[in-house]
Amino acid sequence: MSLQSWLSEGLLVAHRTSSREIAELLNVVRQDLSQCRTPGLSPDWSLNIAYSAVLQAASAALASRRATAPRQVKDTTTSFSSLSLTPSASIPARSES
């Protein structure tokens, strides 16, 4: 399934982004990945923080493609992370408009 088809089906919505927004999301990813390795942190909390990092990374990837997940579609960002890691995924080129 392509990014364009997700937009057409309403699983994603067009989103005007900025390099600052993406940088902030990636900063949260770095912080979460650092904090999930805190000595003495319970495995449950460590996994929860690492999962948050994955969601933020997927949000940054979506933003870089000028898209975002509507709030009511909770699993879209997680699904996108597996799509974006698939070498054969069909993602349309970003328009320069």
Sequence spans of domains, the chain: 3-79
For helices 76-84 and 43-64, the axis angle rounded to 10 degrees is 80
Predicted local distance difference test score (pLDDT) of residue 96: 46
Give the model confidence (pLDDT) of 22-58 as tens digits: 999 999 999 999 999 999 999 999 999 999 999 999 9
Predicted local distance difference test score (pLDDT) of residue 75: 57
The token pair at 76 is: 């879209």
pTM of model > 0.75: no
CA atoms within 13 A on the CB side of 96: 0
